[in-house]
């Protein structure tokens, strides 16, 4: 099992513009430490790397990996928490003014490929889907306590699924009849309900959108993202960068709007730096447009195909236009 970090080269290029050996770096979604292990190598003895993840297993795994693969004298602080709590985490640690803050949303390959976590419609597992599997209601509990109206709204809004009402009705009936106990039971009911309605060649599994919606619901993902993008820009030191990778339009919309609101010339500097990529139209980086993965990366890591990297840089005190 391996989680390939998305747009690693681009993230590191942004980080290098802001980070010094004695900087503070914060990774809000450390996951498998795919980005952090490289970010750590930018730090010297006075540097601090703070890694955060909601998932206790991710914290344990990444702390070990960073210590092994990026040994150094910098300080490593690993915290199991929501990235919405980053301002409080830094305050509690007595740390201020990070030079670089990263968030790479969604689930990791570790979570997706561990059947017991219940994220995958391809692997048999319990109806769980909690990123923090020590707290909060599991998917099963939420489904037992919802109604068709609420569930249809979740599936429509968070999955952008046009057959939301039918799917919700089938799931509620299946739960009542005790026919849905596992992820595969759930995927099957969705497939039976909408596969006959899908026209043309099927490009995605019929359960894809509903599973995404249920995951966002269980973890209240959009609320956390809103809080994160509202609060983190103010934490940055002058010249510091906030970099955010999104994977679907709901996440991206929140980030785009929050950044647009913040990118006032007196506060944040829109940089026109070309950090990659061969096939990008010229000037893409100076207009607030997101950075997309290159063709080669998408071929090597299909998970990256919908990724967008957006970033904000805080103006330096002097010298910046």
Ligand X SMILES: C[S@@+](CC[C@H](N)C(=O)[O-])C[C@H]1O[C@@H](n2cnc3c(N)ncnc32)[C@H](O)[C@@H]1O
Q: How far is it, in rounded angstroms, from Cα 80 to Cα 78?
A: 7
Q: How far is it, in rounded angstroms, from Cα 261 to Cα 284?
A: 19
Counting contacts by CB under 6 A, is residue 3 touching ligand X? Answer: yes
- As a whole number of Å, the CA-based R_g of the chain is 21
- Is the Cα dihedral 140, 222, 276, 289 positive or negative? positive
Contact with ligand X (CB under 6 A): which of 89, 131, 218, 254?
A: 131
Counting contacts by CB under 6 A, is residue 83 touching ligand X? Answer: yes
Give the residue with the Cβ less far from ligand X, 31 or 233.
Answer: 31
Give the residue with the Cβ less far from ligand X, 55 or 239.
Answer: 55
The site for ligand X, by CB under 6 A, has a size of 22
Counting contacts by CB under 6 A, is residue 118 touching ligand X? Answer: no
CB 218 within 8 A of CB 139: yes
10 Å CB burial of residue 210 (0-12, 13-18, 19+) is buried
CA angle 15, 102, 227 (to 5 degrees): 145
289's CB contacts (< 8 A; 6+ apart) are: none
Give the residue with the Cβ less far from ligand X, 83 or 268.
Answer: 83
Give the residue with the Cβ less far from ligand X, 31 or 240.
Answer: 31
Which range, of 14-22, 103-111, 147-155, 249-257, touches ligand X by CB under 6 A?
Answer: 103-111
- The contact mask relative to ligand X for 8-47 (x = CB under 6 A, - = no) is ---------------------x-xxxxx------------
Counting contacts by CB under 6 A, is residue 58 touching ligand X? Answer: yes
**Which residues are at the interface with ligand X (CB under 6 A)?**
3, 5, 29, 31-35, 52-55, 58, 82-83, 104, 106-108, 131, 221, 224
């Amino acid at each position: 099992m391996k989680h390939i970090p998305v747009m690693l080269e681009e993230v590191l290029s942004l980080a290098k513009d802001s980070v010094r050996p004695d900087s503070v770096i914060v990774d809000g979604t450390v996951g498998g430490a795919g980005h952090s292990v490289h970010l750590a190598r930018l730090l010297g003895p006075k540097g601090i790397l703070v890694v955060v993840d909601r998932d206790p297993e991710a914290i344990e795994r990444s702390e070990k990996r960073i210590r092994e693969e990026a040994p150094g004298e910098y300080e490593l602080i690993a915290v199991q928490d929501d990235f919405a709590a980053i301002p409080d985490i830094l305050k509690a640690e007595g740390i201020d003014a990070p030079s670089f803050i990263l968030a790479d949303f969604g689930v990791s390959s570790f979570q997706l490929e561990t059947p017991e976590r219940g994220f995958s419609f391809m692997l048999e597992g319990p109806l769980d889907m909690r990123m923090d599997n020590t707290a909060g209601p599991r998917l099963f509990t939420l489904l037992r306590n919802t109604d068709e109206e609420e569930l249809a709204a979740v599936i429509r809004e968070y999955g952008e699924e046009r057959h939301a009402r039918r799917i919700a009705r089938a799931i509620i009936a299946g739960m009542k009849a005790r026919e849905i106990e596992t992820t595969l039971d759930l995927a099957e009911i969705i497939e039976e309900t909408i596969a006959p309605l899908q026209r043309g060649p099927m490009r995605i599994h019929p359960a894809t959108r509903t599973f995404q919606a249920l995951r966002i619901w269980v973890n209240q993902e959009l609320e956390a993202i809103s809080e994160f993008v509202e609060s983190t820009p103010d934490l940055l030191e002058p010249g510091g960068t906030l970099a955010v990778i999104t994977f679907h339009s709901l996440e991206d919309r929140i980030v785009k709007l929050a950044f647009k609101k913040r990118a006032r010339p007196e506060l944040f500097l829109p940089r026109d730096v070309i950090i990659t990529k061969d096939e990008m139209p010229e000037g893409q980086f100076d207009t607030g447009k997101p950075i997309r993965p290159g063709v080669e990366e998408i071929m090597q890591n299909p998970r990256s195909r919908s990724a967008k990297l957006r970033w904000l840089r805080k103006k330096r005190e002097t010298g910046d236009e």
